[in-house]
Structure 1
Amino acid sequence: MSAAGVLSFTQQGWEQVLAKAKRALVYLDASCAESLHWSCGAPRLLEAVGGPAWHLREFEPLAVGGGSEQPKAVFVLSCLLKGRTVDILRDIIRRSHFQYCVVVTAVSHAVHLTANHVPAAAAAELEGQQPVFEQLEEKLCEWMGNMNHKAEVLHVPLLLAPAAPHLALTPAFATLFPLLPQDVHLLNSARPDKRRLMSLGEMDASALTPELLLQIRCLVSGLNSLCEHLGVREECFAVGSFSRVIAADLANYAPAKNRRKTAAGRASVVFVDRTLDLTGAVGHHGDNLVEKMISVLPQLPGHTNDVMVNMVELTALQAVEENENVIAPGCLAQSNDISAKTLWEALLNTKHKEAVMEVRRHLVEAASRENLPIKMSMGRVTPGQLMTYIQLFKNNLKALRNHCGLLQLGLATVQTLKHQQTAKWDNFLAFERLLLQNIAESSMAVVLSQLLPMIKPSTQRTNNDYSPEELLILLIYIYSVIGEFPVDKDLREAEEKVKKALAQVFSEESELPPLLQKIT
């Protein structure tokens, strides 16, 4: 599959949305907003909307409706048009003055038939027809208060958020996670009249809950649309029990079977369970600047794969702490800035040291093009040096506009390098290396005993000590690396001591972060 083909798949989908958006209020859910963010950016959609009276809004229960001067609405949704989603649609429309509503869903009509329990044989007879969408169009007119008003429901496969030419994300499926061995008893309890599963290896689609199976089918729908755009018939490979179910569903998906009969090209698709590399997800062996940016900078609200970059340093505001929430944050996605996109791809594909040097090179070249008074310095690149180059743009509005994307990536680099978590990264790495060196000689009980002194309450912790979240990350790393091990009296005692210490730390925290709130 070519990178250009994947990018054109996403851009073609958004072009269909842009064509409907003129002079409309546009409501987007979080996943579609993230796809837009990485594909063409919100400014491109605002440009298509045109005029200050029409703009973008979040699709959520309390969303503001449209006034009498806003007769058209476009809803761009990543999910099935069913249940709570339809309720929110109805409520927004009823408190508005719309005369024309367009609803775009990223899920195909075939999956909507499945969600409405239409048998496969009956669904096959409906090929070319869209009764579910047609029924919703009638409902839209009813909610608008006039059956002569105009309503459209259409499928546009907004599956991907293309973060780079060879890296595309699927925001709508960020929470789709493989089942764990402990989940086998939950599957068995949901099917008491069927043969009990002894392990995940015996799992197939019939063992899954209807909700999970429907979520898989939504993913399969998007992947089928991508393969259709690329003109390929795929050969699927799976590593892991959950991936095997997804691969089988794609192979048996009726629209995919029809596509494969005429597709000229070929492609290999490999599905891999996330749980097979939990060590890589929590380890600190990666020498990549972007990995550190995403780990230490605050998450961009509503996004799964972008961060907030504090832009106050480039404004005339003096009191940074007081005004950091006044200035809109920057981010890593720079879909409309060619120079910034080039730097972003370099950051993704190079090691930390080379990436920092690339940031310096791009800043120096941008300052030179703007004839800014830059003072060259050689040797090791420091956050202070990069900040000196960035500050050159501060009072030059034209230069700021020309290189806004580049400056956001530059500030993200500075804020990452200066962040206390980046310094702690080396502490994690040192502990992980020590563990790997001693793993053959030490028992699990000994390893946990080494961890125990690191568990400190907030009153005793310094910036160099581990927080409760970080301790859990270390525990996941330890158990993932060691794998299977014998359980004896020493291990039970060591685990009890760690549990007791963690419980004490959790209970003494003045405020638990969101992740720990979910766990507890």
Structure 2
Amino acid sequence: MGVDLIQEAQRAIGLLAEDVEDGLFYMDDGAGESFHFSGGLPTLLELGARAICSLENASVLDAAVSWRGPSQDPVQKIVILTSKLLTDSHSHFLRVLRMHPSVKKCTIWTSVSEEAHGAHPDTSFGLAAFHDYKNSLLRDLSASSGRRIDDYERTQGQLHDWQASDIEIKFFPVMICSFTKSLFVLPSGGAVAQAPLSSYQDAYAVSRGLPGVEVEEPGPAGAVLLAHCLQHVVAQLDLKPEIFTLGPLANVVGKAMAGLPTPSDGVGHSRRPVGLVLIDRTLDIVTPSTHGDSLLDRCLSCLPRRPSPLPKTFSKLQSNVIASTVTRPPMDVRIIVDSDEAKPLDYTKVGASFPSKPILPKWESRTSSQNQVSKENSELWGGSLSSSWDKRGYEYLETLVGKRTKESLLQIRKWLQEALRQEKSEGSGKGRLSAVSVNELKLLRRALSEKPEVAMRHTALIQLTRAAEEALSGDFATLWDSFMSSEKILMLTAGDVTQSLALQLRDIVQQCVQNIQRAAATRTSLPTDVLSLRDAFTLAIVAYGLAGEGLPGISRGSPFSWEEERSLRDAVMEAVMEGPVGAPLGFLKTLESDLATIWSRDETKKEPQGAKKIQKKKQQVDDDWDRWEGVDEDEEDAEDSEDYTQVRVKAELRDKLGEVFANLHKVAAGCGRSLLRDVPLPVESQMAVGAALHRGLIFKVLSLAFAKMDIPGLEYHASGMTRFLKGGFGRFALRQAKPKLSDQRVLLVFVIGGLNFVEVRDAREAQAAIPGAESFELLLGGTTLLTPSDMYDLLVGSCGVP
């Protein structure tokens, strides 16, 4: 029987059973996201939790509501689940325990193991990290005994006199977001996903959220946490890893994992071997930066995300990790509901409880910078693309992750028609093979949503259809298609010399300049369906990555000539100084106020000046008698000051662009490090005509693995016991042969830095194209799910940010 990530994540929740019953359960943002995808929230209620609350937004009113029914008994037990380091959640722990003076027992579960806490470079704990932290928590609780919290949330009486036996700290081994039974990412709010993968001080770093082009040991803090995390995840899946790595940071993580002891399961049975492949995202930056042919990637890019909790003030005990964390957008999206459709209130008519709002309180009241495409005053229905309380949602995603956009739409239409026939509703239509329009999907969805009792049975399908409509209509769809067209041209050009690639990129920037000039001339904002300067930089990431792949071995400097890159910078300078550039660029954050002043001044200069000149001339003739000496000079000084501001802004802008292009040089260097560019793939002749022009690194690695061919650059890391067998028993002819990746029947590919749905589809296409590859069991994972906008924020938008 194969591995099911969703079932394994739910099985891990059973570890909480003894502590959860009749307890007030708090979880932080990362834990809530993980449990949403694994279906763990209903499981917690089944285990007897009194209520489930947000750790970051804790309130004294949490104890007043019991989801198990009316209860007059005060809360005596609290359970806290955190996805962060204990030190980074310390202030939240204190706040919760001070709010509930009747509590006599507190159990803290953390997804970061005691060994990981002790090995983390930014914490002061030793091998007994949990014991050390408990003592720190007890000291702070004792110091705050009897003190009120604040005027809004007051407690009556004295706090409980906490003893060492009243607080227990435990380790929760699996904190993942399982999109399907074979695909997972790490929760965006957790310590492992937010841990830096490189440092800004590192000359080889491209971003704190991505591996560096080169990594010097000891590696970054994220490598330590990731090694411990993957070790426990693999053990929870009842697998024994054979570790293979591709990339410098992957080598550091693989070496760290090989040195860790295997977690004991207490049973003693042998685990199934798994080929664990760790891949650096930096080796292939092009694939997640492109707008691929995937409906799910479109949905993830266009839909608003769940807002994150507002940050609280930090405690003195808090580690330095929180200051260097990487902001990851939540994986949980929000799906917009039409105003004329049934609202969640209508479902009370059929006696159903509809979870239209997030289960953790106060999420809906927050705002987020990621929600740029959200509509004001709109109802946001449901949560992610799959509902944790509807298993059919996972089945839908499991099918769609392996399909392209057109195939996905045909499949959704088929599901809608089958659902309507099942419910004996009108509008089911006949099965057709023609292309699917957005209006057709809308009509079928509305027919299925007319009756609340019918819609309740097909909520996951209705949400998925509504998400597809949003992704394939309006300005977003137009812009996505424009990106695909521009990227196709760049990929076709990449086969020629890099000069042609630079010319194509300059033409794209010039087009953006013309769009900005046209908007400035008409005094309107830049339309959302045309390429902005931010979009041009997103295409620049693709262009520099393709240029790096065309020049393998490039270590530093630009893949283009000095003249070509200078013309690109000048075009960008012209676009920025011309007027508002549309979407925020990120790296110009410190210059936004000065640029706004320059743009407004330019608008004033465009107004008719004839009347002002006549008035000024008349004043000089008639009113010279009362003019102070030197007034004219002051006016000239003001103009000189304006010129100085513009010169200063240009100088600072030139420096910012220097940092941006230096990062693009590293992008080219990273993509040029891959050794698989010239390796012939066994599936090239079997791929259908019109397949993708650019095949990603995951596709190439798995194609070679399924065909049982050697993979250039792939390193193997033997565990401690394997090294002992190879070295200690060699004299007795018991030397172990180096295992191959193709010898493993279960493969787990984890991309350090993140992956996208196109790569998941590519992996399945590679498996389907090679005879015999169906015997392999394939699991995919990554730090996060990436969109082109995320790649921009990581590579360009963060340039110059301390």
SS of 1:163's equivalent in the other structure is: strand
The reply to whether residue 433 of structure 1 matches residue 433 of structure 2 is no
The reply to whether residue 170 of structure 1 matches residue 242 of structure 2 is no
User: Which residue of 2 is the match for residue 104 of structure 1?
Assistant: 109
CA deviations 1:435-476 (Å, max 9, x no partner) are 223331461542342122222435473343113332221111
Give the residue type in structure 1 aligned to 2:181. Answer: P
User: Which residue of 1 is the match for residue 422 of structure 2?
Assistant: 369
Which stretch shows the higher mean deviation, 104-113 or 37-46?
37-46
CA deviations 1:169-228 (Å, max 9, x no partner) are 1123334564489823789xxxxxxxxxxx9546222xx4xxx33x33222222222232
8 Å CA contact 2:302–2:471 kept in 1: the answer is yes
The unaligned stretches of length 5 or more in structure 1 are: 188-198
User: Which residue of 1 is the match for residue 97 of structure 2?
Assistant: 93
User: Which residue of 1 is the match for residue 580 of structure 2?
Assistant: 508
Instruction: Tell me the distance in 2 between the aligned counterparts of 1:408 and 1:370.
Output: 18
Q: Residues 51-450 of structure 1: matches in 2 within 5 Å?
A: 54-60=50-56, 63-65=58-60, 66-67=62-63, 69-82=74-87, 84-97=88-101, 98-115=103-120, 117=124, 123=127, 131-132=131-132, 135=135, 138=138, 142=142, 144-147=159-162, 150-171=166-187, 172=190, 173-176=192-195, 178-179=197-198, 183-184=202-203, 201=214, 203-205=216-218, 208=219, 212-213=220-221, 215-255=222-262, 263-284=270-291, 286-302=292-308, 304-313=330-339, 314-315=341-342, 323-325=377-379, 327-377=380-430, 378=432, 379-439=434-494, 440-441=496-497, 443=499, 445-450=502-507
Give the residue type in structure 1 aligned to 2:337. Answer: M
Instruction: Tell me the distance in 2 between the aligned counterparts of 1:156 and 1:204.
Output: 29
The change in CA–CA distance for 1:249 and 1:425 in structure 2 (over 3 A counts) is same
User: Which residue of 2 is the match for residue 28 of structure 1?
Assistant: 27
The reply to whether residue 474 of structure 1 matches residue 529 of structure 2 is no
SS of 1:367's equivalent in the other structure is: helix
Instruction: Tell me the distance in 2 between the aligned counterparts of 1:181 and 1:95.
Output: 40
8 Å CA contact 1:136–1:153 kept in 2: the answer is no
The change in CA–CA distance for 1:153 and 1:250 in structure 2 (over 3 A counts) is same
Give the residue type in structure 2 aligned to 1:498. Answer: A
1:3 deviates by 2.5
1:423 deviates by 2.3
Instruction: Tell me the distance in 1 between the aligned counterparts of 2:490 and 2:204.
Output: 33
Which stretch shows the higher mean deviation, 29-38 or 481-490?
481-490
User: Which residue of 2 is the match for residue 454 of structure 1?
Assistant: 511
1:13 deviates by 1.9
The unaligned stretches of length 5 or more in structure 2 are: 65-73, 146-158, 207-211, 309-328, 345-373, 552-557, 590-796
Give the residue type in structure 2 aligned to 1:10. Answer: A
SS of 2:15's equivalent in the other structure is: helix
Instruction: Tell me the distance in 2 between the aligned counterparts of 1:292 and 1:245.
Output: 34
* TM-score (norm. length: structure 2): 0.55
The change in CA–CA distance for 1:56 and 1:12 in structure 2 (over 3 A counts) is same
CA deviations 1:128-173 (Å, max 9, x no partner) are x963465367569746522368332211113211111110111233
8 Å CA contact 1:133–1:154 kept in 2: the answer is no
Give the residue type in structure 1 aligned to 2:295. Answer: L
The change in CA–CA distance for 1:395 and 1:57 in structure 2 (over 3 A counts) is same
Instruction: Tell me the distance in 1 between the aligned counterparts of 2:449 and 2:59.
Output: 36
8 Å CA contact 2:238–2:271 kept in 1: the answer is yes
Select the structure that is richer in helix: 1
8 Å CA contact 1:435–1:447 kept in 2: the answer is yes
SS of 1:145's equivalent in the other structure is: coil
User: Which residue of 2 is the match for residue 191 of structure 1?
Assistant: none
SS of 1:299's equivalent in the other structure is: coil
Instruction: Tell me the distance in 1 between the aligned counterparts of 2:138 and 2:458.
Output: 48
What is the aligned-residue identity percentage?
Answer: 20
Instruction: Tell me the distance in 1 between the aligned counterparts of 2:444 and 2:139.
Output: 57
SS of 1:508's equivalent in the other structure is: coil
Decide which structure has the larger Cα Rg and report it.
2
8 Å CA contact 2:421–2:428 kept in 1: the answer is no
- How many residues align? The count is 484
8 Å CA contact 1:393–1:400 kept in 2: the answer is yes
8 Å CA contact 2:81–2:108 kept in 1: the answer is yes
SS of 2:504's equivalent in the other structure is: helix
The change in CA–CA distance for 1:511 and 1:265 in structure 2 (over 3 A counts) is closer
8 Å CA contact 2:215–2:249 kept in 1: the answer is no
SS of 1:291's equivalent in the other structure is: helix
Instruction: Tell me the distance in 1 between the aligned counterparts of 2:387 and 2:286.
Output: 30
1:40 deviates by 0.9
CA deviations 1:17-53 (Å, max 9, x no partner) are 3553333332222211111011015344345455xxx
CA deviations 1:403-448 (Å, max 9, x no partner) are 1122111111122121422222221121122222333146154234
The change in CA–CA distance for 1:462 and 1:372 in structure 2 (over 3 A counts) is same
The change in CA–CA distance for 1:361 and 1:200 in structure 2 (over 3 A counts) is closer
8 Å CA contact 1:220–1:250 kept in 2: the answer is yes
8 Å CA contact 1:178–1:273 kept in 2: the answer is no
The change in CA–CA distance for 1:295 and 1:147 in structure 2 (over 3 A counts) is closer
The change in CA–CA distance for 1:18 and 1:289 in structure 2 (over 3 A counts) is farther
Which stretch shows the higher mean deviation, 20-29 or 290-299?
20-29
SS of 2:243's equivalent in the other structure is: strand
8 Å CA contact 1:386–1:414 kept in 2: the answer is yes
Give the residue type in structure 2 aligned to 1:278. Answer: I
- CA RMSD between the two structures: 3.5
The change in CA–CA distance for 1:322 and 1:460 in structure 2 (over 3 A counts) is closer
User: Which residue of 2 is the match for residue 16 of structure 1?
Assistant: 15
Higher relative contact order (CA 8 A, sep 6+): 2
The change in CA–CA distance for 1:43 and 1:467 in structure 2 (over 3 A counts) is farther
8 Å CA contact 1:178–1:274 kept in 2: the answer is no
8 Å CA contact 2:24–2:75 kept in 1: the answer is yes
1:258 deviates by 11
Instruction: Tell me the distance in 2 between the aligned counterparts of 1:514 and 1:42.
Output: 36
Instruction: Tell me the distance in 1 between the aligned counterparts of 2:304 and 2:23.
Output: 32
Instruction: Tell me the distance in 2 between the aligned counterparts of 1:332 and 1:486.
Output: 40
SS of 1:74's equivalent in the other structure is: strand
